[in-house]
Amino acid sequence: MYIDLLLGFITFFTSTIAGIVGIGGGMILVAILPSFLPVNAVIPIHGLTQMTSNFSRAVFGYKDIQFKVIPKFLFGSLLGIGLISSIIYFISLDYVPLFIGIYILLSLWSKKFNDKIKKFESYFLIGFFQTGLSLIVGATGPLSMTLLYKDFEDKDAIVATAAALMSITHIFKVFVFIFFGFAFFDYLGLLVCMIVGAILGSYAGIKLRNKIDGKKFRNILKILLSLLAIKVIISVFL
């Protein structure tokens, strides 16, 4: 019970971070969970908790969601999760995080790269890779956030829309784990604590986000995305 409450508090903290800047909380949480859970339970438990965190954040900020980007992302997600889940045991994806990290850094800091990649970037492709690769790579969330950062100026629109897109990713991922037979019910007490923490953290994050002006928010987000990308790249070689 102590561990359940502790992870609930940690989830509150990470969900608050995500509620403020839209990202980062999930990566902190997935780095902490292996210290408390069996290896085979980390990704499923993390996925269900993040589904709750992102969905609650989307509900709290539904007025700011840019719904026009969702259909293409949803279609890409369906194809991505279908393809990757069917071939996951037959391919090596060890270096996928490396390419994700490099893409994020170039996308954020290189005008020449953005000029060349613009005609290929789309919410369909982002949905395909973010959702499909989320089954085995813990760093796909920054993909949609990076594109939203470039497409929208308003901080609430960026965070709320990112939450809606990441909700789609985690919902599909949870369904895949249920299909493969993961017993979420065995972790019911833990999940209740973490889900409550995630929802409360989303609400707290929204309140704290209102204290940050738009320009400062975008600067913080750009730096945070860059740090996450560097972490992902380094993790490939460790």
Residue 167 CB coordination number (10 Å) = 20
- What are the tens digits of pLDDT across the range 16-54? 988 988 888 887 888 788 889 888 888 889 889 999 999
Distance CA 173, CA 77 (A): 10
Count of domains in the chain?
Answer: 1
Amino acid at position 132, single letter: G
Residue 212, domain extent: 2-237
pTM attached to this predicted model: 0.86
Structure tokens at 18: 């995500």
- What are the tens digits of pLDDT across the range 181-237? 888 999 999 999 999 999 999 999 989 888 888 788 888 888 988 888 888 888 888
